């Protein structure tokens, strides 16, 4: 099992490996496997990149994100210009029907609302906004349409777990309540926890995931 110091060093090395980041601008602290990222970056996409880098590290149980986005003078735009840029970005993305998504911008924070058929469409909309100049945060309130019954959803999620090379399906319990999926049990890493959640999001009809999976870092004894 990794110590907090080993996790911290690995996170710092991963931040250095990410080409768009200046690792010296991001502080890293670790306590009981919980990683806290701090500091300032000049774009929202860099904030997201730092978080994704930390999630890759084995032994990370959770991430506290305290990185602040401080735009340089050339990166500042008024909310109207940002809203126009978001609408245009969504319009040119083939996976997203922009007329079904409403956009609100306040102090650089973009709120997306509406309804789509699949989780990948919801994620695609967010990803299209992440790299836009002037954006300092995103609130993704897009909902997923409910189209399948609970038993079918659960069966398809379970089958996806068993197909995956990175997920131990035996250690995960799935509960479906309406359009909400609840995951319980134990996984071996943050990556496995995230892979399990991503598999759930691929199920048609799910618009919320309560990921209660716990990361077990105990060594296996044979």
Please say whether the beta carbons of 39 and 26 come within 8 A: yes
pLDDT value at position 217?
65
Question: Per mean pLDDT, which of 76-80, 117-121, 203-207 is the most reliable?
Answer: 76-80
Equal CATH topology for 4-70 and 74-144:
yes
* Class at the top of the CATH hierarchy for domain 150-215: alpha beta
pLDDT value at position 73?
77
For 31-45, the pLDDT digits (tens) are 999 999 999 998 999
- Tell me the domain boundaries of the chain: 4-70, 74-144, 150-215
Q: What is the 3-state secondary structure (H, E, C) of 155-222?
A: HHHHHHHHHCCCCCHHHEEEEEECCEEEEEEEECCHHHHHHHHHHHHCCCCCCEEEECCEECCCCCCC
* Class at the top of the CATH hierarchy for domain 74-144: alpha beta
Band of residue 210 on the pLDDT scale cut at 50, 70, 90: very high
If you average pLDDT over every residue of the chain, what do you get? 88
Average pLDDT on 79-92 reads 90
Sheet holding 62-69, edge to edge: 26-31, 34-41, 62-69
Band of residue 139 on the pLDDT scale cut at 50, 70, 90: very high
pLDDT value at position 95?
66
State the helix-helix crossing angle for 4-17 and 44-55, rounded to 10 degrees. Answer: 130
The domain 4-70 is placed in CATH, from the list 3.30.70.260, 3.40.50.2000, 3.90.1150.10, 3.30.1340.30, at: 3.30.1340.30
Per-residue pLDDT at 221 exceeds 60 = no
Q: Are strands 137-144 and 109-116 parallel, antiparallel or unpaired?
A: parallel
pLDDT value at position 98?
63
Measured CA to CA, the distance from residue 99 to residue 106 in angstroms comes to 20
Q: Cβ atoms within 10 A of the Cβ of 173, count?
A: 10
């Amino acid at each position: 099992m990794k110590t907090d110091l080993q996790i911290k060093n690995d996170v710092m090395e991963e931040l250095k490996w990410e080409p768009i980041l200046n690792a010296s601008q991001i502080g890293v602290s670790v306590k009981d496997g919980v990683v806290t990222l701090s500091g300032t970056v000049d774009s929202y996409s860099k904030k997201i990149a730092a978080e994704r880098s930390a999630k890759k590290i084995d032994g990370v149980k959770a991430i506290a994100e305290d990185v602040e986005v401080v735009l340089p003078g050339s990166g500042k735009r008024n909310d109207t210009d940002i809203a126009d840029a978001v609408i245009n970005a969504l319009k040119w993305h083939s996976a997203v029907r922009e007329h079904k998504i409403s956009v609100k911008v306040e102090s650089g924070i973009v709120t997306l609302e509406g309804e789509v058929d699949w989780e990948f469409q919801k994620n695609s909309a967010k990803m299209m906004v992440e790299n836009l100049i002037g954006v300092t945060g995103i609130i993704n309130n897009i909902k997923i349409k409910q189209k399948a019954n609970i038993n079918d959803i659960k069966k398809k999620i379970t089958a996806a777990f068993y197909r995956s090379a990175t997920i131990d399906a035996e250690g995960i319990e799935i509960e479906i309540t309406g359009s909400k999926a609840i995951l319980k049990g134990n996984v071996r890493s943050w990556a496995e926890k995230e892979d399990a959640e991503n598999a759930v999001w691929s199920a048609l009809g799910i618009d919320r995931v309560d990921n209660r999976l716990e990361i077990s870092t105990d060594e296996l004894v044979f």
